[in-house]
Amino acid sequence: MNKVRLTWLGHSCFEIMHGRRVLIDPFITDNPAATVSLSDLEPDLIAVTHGHRDHLGDTVEIALRAGCKVVCIHELSQYLKSKGILTEGMNIGGSIDLYGFSITMTDARHSSSIDESGHTFDGGRAAGFLIRAGNISIYHAGDTGIFRDMELIGDLYRPDVVILPIGGRYTMNSRDAALAVSMLNPKIAIPMHYNTYEKIKQDPDVFVSAVKEVSDADVIVMEVNDSIIFQD
């Protein structure tokens, strides 16, 4: 059996390894929670949920060095193409198969823009990703508030693992995220996008307790650079 390895690199950045490597939202430089070096990252594919600095992050530098493709929404893909990067643009509800991964772009309730040298560019819409590696289905919600169609995402794609923001202020908080878990009905729930900065400081134990009230899902509170291994 092949293994699927999920690693948290801090904030909303995760790596999924299943033979090949998918890197999601590679915000490393200027991320006080990140300890990995950019030179240590050798993805085959980068998936970016939206254009904000703490998600687009180091995509340009990593993609140019590694020569890898970037999967993202159409408007962001056009911006990245202008930087000489190979992209696979898509949109909400679309799916693409690359390197043994099946990737579906899901809705997210959040803003999106690309900020560069004092100018702002259209980043399209914010999104999430449903990534299937072998028989393991992982839902990375991106930055989002709670929305009722999470129930439909759960019904359609039956994610084994959901990764949800709990920081509040810019995304949903722990209690809203717990309700999202009840709608998505996964086996495992993982919190992200919290404690990187003071404005999104949260106690993840609140999320753990809130999930227990509404769901049978196991909550795993990861430390930065922790990995979870799944049997495919």
pLDDT digits (tens, 9 = 90+) for 6-18: 999 999 999 999 9
Residue 23: strand pairing partners: 15, 46
3 state DSSP class of 37: coil
- 101 found inside a domain: yes
The rounded percent of the chain whose pLDDT value lies above 70 is 98
Q: Scanning the structure block, which residue is given the tokens 């717990």?
A: 178
- Taking the C-alpha atoms of residue 209 and residue 224, their distance in angstroms, rounded to an integer, is 21
- 75 found inside a domain: yes
Element (H, E) at 152: helix 150-157
The answer, yes or no, to whether residue 82 has pLDDT greater than 90, is yes
- Taking the C-alpha atoms of residue 73 and residue 160, their distance in angstroms, rounded to an integer, is 24
- pLDDT, mean over the chain: 96
- 194 found inside a domain: yes
- 166 found inside a domain: yes
- 231 found inside a domain: no
Residue 215 token pair: 């769901």
- Model confidence at 117, pLDDT cuts 50, 70, 90, reads low
- The domain tally of the chain equals 1
List of E strands, the chain:
3-10, 13-18, 20-24, 45-47, 69-73, 87-90, 95-98, 101-107, 113-116, 119-122, 127-133, 136-140, 161-165, 188-192, 218-219, 227-231
> What pLDDT does residue 231 have?
87
pLDDT tens digits, 42-75: 999 999 999 999 999 999 999 999 999 999 999 9
The answer, yes or no, to whether residue 119 has pLDDT greater than 80, is no
- 21 found inside a domain: yes
The answer, yes or no, to whether residue 221 has pLDDT greater than 90, is yes
Count, in order, helices (H) and strands (E) of the chain. 6, 16
Range of the domain at 86: 3-220
Residue 134 token pair: 């072998």
CATH number at residue 119: 3.60.15.10
The answer, yes or no, to whether residue 118 has pLDDT greater than 70, is no
